[in-house]
Amino acid sequence: MNDEVEDLEIRLLLEALYGRYHYDFRGYAPASIKRRLRQVREKLGFPSFSAMLEGLLHDTTVLPHVLSYLTVQVSEMFRDPSYFRAIREKVIPHLRTYPSLKVWVAGCSTGEEVHSLAILFREEGLEQRTMFYATDISQDALKAASSGIYGLDRIKLFTQNHQRSGGKSSLSDYYVAAYGKASFDKTLRERVVFSDHSLVTDAVFGEMHLISCRNVLIYFDRTLQDRTLKLFGDSLVRRGFLGLGAKESLRFSNQAGSFLDFDNEERIYQKRET
């Protein structure tokens, strides 16, 4: 396979996804997007990316497969317990000083993180004054997130993570197990707005006190990362908090100056005063 031809094919494919369906992956980190596109090409049995491009343009049944490979992320409840412990012990005391709160989980995928935060805020007595916004570009992910149903086989890990995060209740208080699934209490989602929002093409999203966006930015190239971080800065109240994934940082971004390190180890940042 001629490598340059393949790169060109991928560029055309991403242009087609945008031009035909308005999904913009053109600013995604190239190595990962290529890997995912190869996976979907193999699964759908296209001999080349050009053939897949033709399928994508003329056969609308191809799109959902491509999107599911390009968007779906599997996370865990309370993934990286030390992050949630830092939110609980260091960020919550600041958030208590506000009469009402807005929390944005950007790139919420199938909802593990927003459920985690809803439980944490309930344990800390802040849930009733908080609105949660959980956004993603994938309708399938949003649907899964708003159902709050997870495989029972994952609950052991979720429970362990919750305990390690300093959980003050038992995770089993929040779900009912049946038929191999754990169905999380719908009251956890009463204050959650699930909505379609693209970090690539959409705009500022209200005055947030906390934005949690974990393991999303690693999929973006530098330019798109910078755009997204600016969007976060513009969407936060003064001294609002931004939490990133364990291996993401502002270090290589041109937006680093808009934030202060709040908890360097846990990648929690605070918007500067000015």
Q: Where does this chain bind another protein (CB under 8 A)?
A: 1, 3, 29-32, 34-36, 73-74, 215, 217-219, 222, 225, 245-249, 251-252
Q: Which residue, 131 or 246, is less far from another protein as judged by CB? A: 246
The DSSP call for residue 220 is B
Q: Which residue, 190 or 221, is less far from another protein as judged by CB? A: 221
| Smallest separation (angstroms) from another protein to the CB of 269 | 15
Q: Which residue, 215 or 235, is less far from another protein as judged by CB? A: 215
104's CB contacts (< 8 A; 6+ apart) are: 132, 133, 134, 135, 205, 206, 208, 210, 211, 212, 235
| Smallest separation (angstroms) from another protein to the CB of 247 | 5
How far apart CA 262 and CA 248 sit, in angstroms, is 14
Q: Which residue, 73 or 183, is less far from another protein as judged by CB? A: 73
Q: Which residue, 31 or 203, is less far from another protein as judged by CB? A: 31
| Smallest separation (angstroms) from another protein to the CB of 94 | 27
| Smallest separation (angstroms) from another protein to the CB of 96 | 31
Q: How far is CA 2 from the centre of its chain?
A: 35
| Smallest separation (angstroms) from another protein to the CB of 243 | 15
The SS3 assignment for 91 reads helix
